[in-house]
Amino acid sequence: MKYYIALYQKLRDTYLSINSNENDLPLICPTLTMYSKEELEMLRPQSQITDKSIIGESLLKKEQISNELNSIPTSSSNWNVNPENILSEVYKNILESIQPIGLQDQFLKIDIKDSAVLFDSSQKPTKEYKAYLKYLVAYEKNLEVVQQHLETFDSSATDLKKTAWEDKLVVLGSKAKLAYAELEVKGYKNVVEKAINEINNNTELEKYLGLLESTKSIFDITKKTGVETLASYHNIDFSPYDFMVNESGWNNLKIEKKELDELYLKAKQSAGGIPEEILSLEYDEKYIKGIELDYSFIHLKRSWFNKDIFNQKFFSHNNEKKVSDGQTISNDFQLPAFPKIMILMKNLKVDLETNILESQINAINNMIHFGPLILKNQMFVNKQNNTSFLKVITNKETLRSNQLQYLARKSETTTLEIQNEVAKEISTETNTPIKNTISATPVNMRTINSPKLATMKPLEMRATNTAILNVNTTLLTPIIATFPILGARTTFTINDSVSKKGIYKCSISIKGKEGNNIVREIETNQEGTISTMLPIGKYSLELKCDFYTSKTIEINIENNNPLSLTYELSRDIVEYKSYFLIGMICEKLPLIN
């Protein structure tokens, strides 16, 4: 998590440097939250959806994703998906409990000509209103003369001229005071302005009630029809609206190791918006040389949400729980803050140090993590600068697969067992009992500062347990191998069905079947080929590449002999884009009782 935190800190600093809203609350998203282009596309108003085939694809899916992105934060340290506490439901409940201040005073719609103080029965101005207008004009003219005289002051004038200027100012000021006194007495100022204020107040209340009525209508229609999934409040308008179809709003970011370490240290010292249990991590991510990615701040626009309903002049509700206290982010309040800007990233590349071997990356018994993200078991090389790097897995089906979840649990179990073994060895050597508290915390939330590990050489560590090599890094996480390490070197070749040429960057998702817990995520090179080791067993393959129709295939590895497999994909206008939600900018609401 160390460099994931550093990355978030960089994006947080970037946002705060260009925005000055003191109520903005940047929050880290410490879990893996990923959305595909197709999922986000469904949330937009129908008029903005370019792919008309997905409009009716899945209304339930649209509702689910909308509820996720509308999750109300319950902590000032992080933001996470919480479909049980969503903005639309809370907002709707607040609307239903509002009892506007002023209705109990027998509110009436009053037109200016309905006032007996201002207009008589024939709709002509009363003598009071005429006098008010007459003396108001006279008073304003006197004020204007005073203002003009003030502008004539000359600091370089002689003392005599300055004295004359001051005397004239006193005279003009006296005339203005006299005009104001006449406005009060002869112009019926208090009587007329009281009538005007009543009209203005009623007009404002009328507007406020109109706002409530129009806002509630969306929810009322939904309630009457009973079709929640068709409600327009699941629509989200994005800004920039075209971030899914081009590079508008996207910025490239490259961070070297030195800056990553500095950013992580800054995050620890400031502790702004990051949970303490995450900041306490001290992993040595020694294989990471730097990271590169594209990021964007995507604003969430909701047509049904309007902060003006909390206008404190008229707002009142019958719920015992306060809306917000302007400070605390918790479940003790109905709506302490709401999500308004996603911090998205894509095209993540983790640059590697030269001392890491390709065999370590391709090892079957390794999980590769970058914070909550899981990386491909495949090393890529940038031909321009010869830098080796890793890519993040973007196939949602792979990330949700039982195999990957099983291996993730195994990786935690392995590291915990190794930590316990090391603790026992240290305890034996020093004759000092060591309290075991490791098992209470997942591996990715705990660090070990062991003198034994610091003095052991790599070869000694391999001889004891090969997985110990990786105990101090979150990049390569060992797993308990419940399958044969050896396997068949399987070479995949993916060609274009028309040109018969190899397809570059075709993603191949490999998932074991019938108790086989192997899961791999690789992609083809410029020739359209890629090789990987697969133990004996049955597998399901999913081939995906931009502008091609995806394909699912079943294969059976019967022995450890080398195997070559060739497949073809047909052209289609499909783009498989994925976005990772690294943080959410929420806006705190002020004190609202």
Distance CA 513, CA 582 (A): 32
Helix (H) or strand (E) holding 289: strand 288-301
Once rounded to an integer, what is the mean pLDDT over residues 447-476?
A: 33
**Pairing between β-strand 380-382 and β-strand 387-391 as defined by DSSP bridges:** antiparallel
Half-sphere exposure of 230 (CA within 13 A, CB side): 8
The model carries a pTM of 0.73
**pLDDT tens, residue by residue, 84-105:** 889 988 998 898 888 887 654 5
> Residue 106 pLDDT more than 60?
no
What's the DSSP call for residue 548?
B
Q: Taking the CA atoms of the chain, what radius of gyration do you get in angstroms? A: 34
Tokens of 353: 């140090």
The single-letter DSSP state of residue 438 is G
Range among 154-168, 264-278, 399-413, 500-514 rated most confident: 500-514
Q: Which of 135-149, 319-333, 552-566 has the highest mean pLDDT?
A: 552-566
pLDDT at 428: 42
Whole-angstrom CA distances from 593 to 94, 117, 332, 393, 559 are 12, 37, 12, 46, 70
pLDDT at 429: 39
Tell me what the mean pLDDT of segment 240-253 comes to.
Answer: 90
User: Residue 493 pLDDT > 60, yes or no?
Assistant: yes
The model's pLDDT over 519-550, given as tens digits with 9 standing for 90+, comes to 999 999 999 999 999 999 999 999 999 999 99
pLDDT at residue 412 above 80?
A: no
CA atoms within 13 A on the CB side of 308: 14
pLDDT at 190 over 60: yes
Mean pLDDT of 267-295: 79
**What is the tens place of the pLDDT at every residue in 386-400?**
889 999 999 988 888
Q: Where do runs of H (alpha helix) occur along 431-475?
A: 451-455, 458-464
Quickly count: other Cβ atoms within 10 Å of residue 296's Cβ: 20
Average of per-residue pLDDT across 235-259: 91
Lowest-confidence pick of 96-110, 249-263, 433-447, 465-479: 433-447
* CA atoms of 472 and 454, how far apart (whole Å): 10
Q: What's the mean per-residue pLDDT of the chain?
A: 80
Rounded Cα–Cα distance for residues 136 and 125 (Å): 15
Angle at 437 between CA 434 and CA 443, to 5 degrees: 120
Helices marked H in 252-401 — which ranges? Answer: 257-270, 276-279, 358-362, 396-400
Q: For residue 305, give the amino acid letter.
A: F
The residue extents of the domains of the chain are 2-97+236-350+581-592, 98-234, 395-481, 488-575
Instruction: Please check whether the domain covering 488-575 is classified as CATH 2.60.40.1120.
Output: yes
Contact 253, 292 (CB under 8 A): yes
